[in-house]
Structures are given as structure tokens and as C-alpha cells.
Structure 1
Amino acid sequence: MEEKQLNTFIALMEQSLLSELVLDSVDPTNPIRVAETPRGWRLLGAGNYAGVFTHQDYSDIAMKVYAPGRDGWESECEVYRRIGTHPAFSTCYHAGEYKGHYYLILKRLKGKTLYQCIIDGAAIPKKAIEDIDQALEYARSRGLFPHDVHGKNVMIKDGRGIVLDISDFLKEEPCAMWDDLKKAYNRIYMPFLSKKPIPVPEWVLNGVRKGYRFMRNSSVVGRSS
């Protein structure tokens, strides 16, 4: 991103987004609430720590704004510093603070999440899975610890795999989400759905997700007892 374009975007962001944006975090275990999104901006998504926005005139840029009082901005800045430039990850163009809002300006990643692919019955090529594997190995080589990598945090664009959210890559505790997803891909998707994908209702996936969390939590309790 050219410096002139970046400076123009920062000025626009400060004047029209951060000066009027209203968002808060009522419960750290649930997504933040965005009470008001200024005109010209669109909310792309909201997590437990931050909201992600884009502007109608800058569709290739994403703006991640942390809710007041929520930790994680400094850690995410460090993760992007270590990642640098890689085709399977976003790029951080700028990080800063304005009127109490801590934010990151990122290259916007476009595509369809694996979760949405299953719902839509869209193909999930093996090359995309391999791309994500290689990207996570690259992250490890940069001193990072892939964490919280699941079906809603990875995408497919033109048949290639992309890692959407890397904000927790400084957490050193083991995370088996991606390995478990790959097992499901190899044991269920490849033999039964890969040749002729069919849409899967979201309520079915939500049931699978809740069951997975229950088994994971039970496993952790069992190991600690």
C-alpha cells in the first residue's frame, strides 16, 4: 500500500469512523456490540475483542478496532510484525491509537470460510488444506504458535487456502483445532463429500461444533484430574 494512499485512509478513518464509532464489550466471552457504524463504513464482523470494518471507497482494506478495555492489540501487532508478508496471511499496513481507539489497518482478505463452504456445498480442494498447513508451519518458523485455527478462521480464495485470524498466535498453550479439522476433512469430507459436495444445514454444523467443544472440554478435565 502506497504511503500517500495510507495517509489518506488514516485521515478518513480518524475523521469519519473513529470519531463516531460506538462499540463496547459487555461480556468478554461474547462478541462485542457495535451500537453505531458511521455512514460509508460497513461492519465485516465482530469478535470477542474487536470489530472489523471496511469503507465503500477502499474495499481492499480492513480496519480492525479493539473495544475499549479489551487486551490483545499489542500482541496482534507483534504477530503481524513476525509474519511480515506471506500470501496466506493478511498484511498489517499500520497500527495506532486515536481518541482511545486502538486499531490495525490490514489488507482485506476475501474468500469463503471452510464453514461457509460446507453450508453452501462448495468444494474444499486438498490444495487449500495444504496451503494452510504450510502457512502454519511458516508461522512456527517465525516463533509463533498457531492457535484457534478452525473452520470460521480459514478461507478459500481461487482454490487456495488463507488464514483469516492470527490474533492469538502468541499463545503458547497447545491447540488441536486445526489437526482435528484435518482429521474430519480426511475421514469424512474426502471419502463422502469431496466428489459431489452437498449443502449441510447450519444447525447440523452448530450441533457438531457444540459436540466437539464438549468432547474437548471433557478431555481437558480428564487429563487434569
Structure 2
Amino acid sequence: MKGIGKLGLIAICRLLVLPTWIAYRLEALFVDPDKAFHGASQAMSLWPGLLGEYARREFYRLTLEACSDDCCLSFGTILSKRGARIGRRVYVGTRCTLGLVTLEDDVLLASNVDVLSGGAQHRFDDLDTPVREQGGTFTRVTVGADTWIGNHAVVLADVGRRCVIGSGAVVTKPVPDESIAVGMPARPVGRRGERTPGKVGE
């Protein structure tokens, strides 16, 4: 019975998100598709509770380049790029911001984590041109499988598999597999299996 109830909830959520999906598709005919998607994502981020988690997943399964059927994207989380890829059993905490990302299987993001589209989204070298008019480059940032990223971290570069990124860290350079990295900018301070669990902040 539990499985039947879950399937029923999924079906209901798929129907509930169809108006938002249709509105997004129509808007994308007239404006930049990523801009239209971003607006729809803002709306979906405000659905509370378990219903919201299921509804967001169904919406992103309809719109993202890849989205698993067992991920969880929590309240307040906003995505800005349709090219994002969300792997299996991924958990994204509340109020996260995701750009052109790949979150591989079993990635855990705590609350208020920003995984952006690289570190060159805004050029600022020309002093005679406003920053907003100088353009930038959006690059895919990959977070490897079984990686945990703590609260308020900012990720601008790839993070390897089986890593731990401490709370408040700012990742500006690629982090090797199985690293524990902390600080601003983030730097490796150990490897998984070599430190006592729960001592990331030391």
C-alpha cells in the first residue's frame, strides 16, 4: 500500500506542476529559455513540505537535462540553468542556488550552498564598461559522487568524488577525490578515512 500511495502522490504532483511547465514553455518562446526557466524555478522553490519536494522533482524531471526520480531538492532551492544534471539519491538542502552543475550520485548539499556556473561569470577588466555589460563565461561545475558540502559553502570549481567540503568554504580550484577541504579559499586539510568524523572544522 505504501508503494501505491507514493506512486499516486507522484502522479498528482506531475499534474500539479503541468501549469508551471506550460507557462515556462510559453515564456521561453519569447525570452531567453534559461531566464524563463529561472523564473519557473523560483516559483517551484516556494512549495513547502513533502508535497513541495515531490513537485519540484517532477518539474525538474520535465525540464532539466537530467534529473533522477529519487533526488530531493528542498524548499527555497533555485536552479538557473536547464543544463543542470541531478544524479540518483542526491539531497539538496534548503535555500541552495545551483547553476550549470552536475551533481553525481549520492551528493549531499547542506542548506544555503551555492554551486555556481564557474568563477568567470562576470568580466570586470574594462573600467570604461559597466560590469553588467561585459559578459562572462558559464562553465559546468561537477560535484563528484558521495561528496558532502557543508552549510554556506560556495563552489566555483569541480569537486572530486567522496569529498567533504567544510561549512563556509569557497572552492575556487578543483578539489581532488577523497579530500577534506575547508577555508576561503578552500584548501585540502586531509583525506577521507584519515580524520575523525565530525572534525572538519578543526
TM over 0.5: no
- Could you say which structure has the greater relative contact order, defined with CA pairs below 8 angstroms and 6 or more residues apart? 1
TM-score, length-scaled by structure 2: 0.31
TM-score, length-scaled by structure 1: 0.29
Q: Which has the higher helix share?
A: 1
